[in-house]
Amino acid sequence: MNGLDLAGLTTGPDQTWGSVRLVPLVREQPIEDLRLNAQLYGEELSIVSVEPRVSYISYVPHAFVATWTGDGTPAAAYGTQLGSEGLSEKDTVVRGVPLRLRRGMARRVARKEGNDRLRFLPLHLALEGYLALHFGGPELAWDEWSQRALRHGLSPRCEESYDGYQVRGLDDALRIFEIHPGQCGVLVYVSDALASAFVVPHPEDYRALHATLVQDLYGELIYQYGALMPARDFATARIADAEVRSLADLRAQVARRMDEWAEFHDIVMAGGLLGADDYTFDEVYRLGRFRLRRFLPSFRLHDESHLGEAIVDEAGRLAYLKTFRLSQGQVRRGHLLTRLAASGWNLEHAAKVLSTDAEGLALRLERSGFGYLLRQDVLDHYRAQARRRELT
């Protein structure tokens, strides 16, 4: 599995509000033996222990609970649980901010009738994979790397995102737009930039989870487009009067325009997400005949890059999907880290791969927030070289 495929999902007519466009995804045949529901938390900051001495800290508004059956029979959908339930003795407070320690990004939920429920943190599961990208730092003790880099790697590793309430118009769009019959997903655009894809197994799941989109995380580009871009005049399909002589002609013309719209959308508008075939997938958990996987892009500079998580069945059919669009700064950081790791963290070798020299790579690392990985005297030397070149 190297790409994403929306097979089994049909693109429906879009709805627009200001600069926000929502494109529904309709499933002809719902998936009955896997169901999702939300477990809501409060507004406290959450700490997730992902491995010994490594924690993921973020605002986590809710978790998803996946329920499945092992024999293909329909799974029951459980109701939403409010976040005040289930607090443990490990709940704590740091600097007046209530924190909740979670045992992992994906783990089983205890249930008397067997082990057929999994709780996971949507999007945070994927973002933790991005933050953990080459988290250990240099694998060889080259002279250029600092003692901090060699001992602690990239810790702490931080990135910024925005929740949906900060994306102008998204809250109103989700509140007023129609949910289509059979809708099992949606593609969210802001000023025609793809912000997020969300797919669930069953229409009832989507109706229950539709409102959670405004609590999701969105990238810097999407926040800026929502805040700065004016409302757009979206293209509409037109039918020539001369081609319509009966209701049958009208139905045929409408069907043709809808097919053209779906093809245009999947190839052009969502091409950055669906057209990529070089994602790196990491299997997180098995849920009967389903697999929960998270994925990272190839971090190609100046290309649209999405990360996310997906649940697929044994045939690779998509049951669940949630994505996050990286900013260009985040793409550059991922690009640098992957190229450094592929070069064995050898600065000279990596510089050649990146079509620069050691000085240029060192300064790029500093601009990307990774200057602390280099020894201070090495970084000062490259800075001085750059200043001398500017003066001459």
Q: What is the mean pLDDT of residues 362-372?
A: 95
Q: Which of 25, 23, 17, 26 is nearest to 176 (CA)?
A: 17
Both tokens of residue 169? 């118009």
Helix (H, G, I), strand (E, B) or coil at 297: coil
* pLDDT value of residue 102: 52
Helices (H) and strands (E) in the chain, counts: 11, 19
Which range among 102-106, 135-139, 240-244, 303-307 has the greatest average pLDDT?
303-307
pLDDT digits (tens, 9 = 90+) for 192-216: 899 999 999 999 999 999 999 999 9
Rounded average pLDDT over 103-130: 72
Predicted local confidence at residue 107, as pLDDT: 56
pLDDT per position as a tens digit, 132-149: 999 999 988 999 999 999
**Distance in angstroms (rounded) separating the CA atoms of residues 47 and 58:** 7
Mean pLDDT of 93-101: 39
* pTM for this predicted structure: 0.84
Taking the C-alpha atoms of residue 262 and residue 151, their distance in angstroms, rounded to an integer, is: 51
Q: What is the pLDDT of residue 97?
A: 36
Handedness of CA 188, 273, 130, 340 (dihedral sign): negative
| 109 or 8, which is more confident | 8
For 374, other C-beta atoms within 10 Å of its C-beta total 22
113 phi/psi in degrees, rounded to 5: -85, 35
Structure confidence at residue 89 as a pLDDT band (50, 70, 90): very low
Q: Angle CA(338)–CA(344)–CA(349) in degrees, nearest 5?
A: 90
User: Kind and range of the H or E element at 8?
Assistant: none
Residue 307: its pLDDT value, please? 96
User: Residues 332-344: pLDDT tens digits?
Assistant: 999 999 999 999 9
Element (H, E) at 84: none
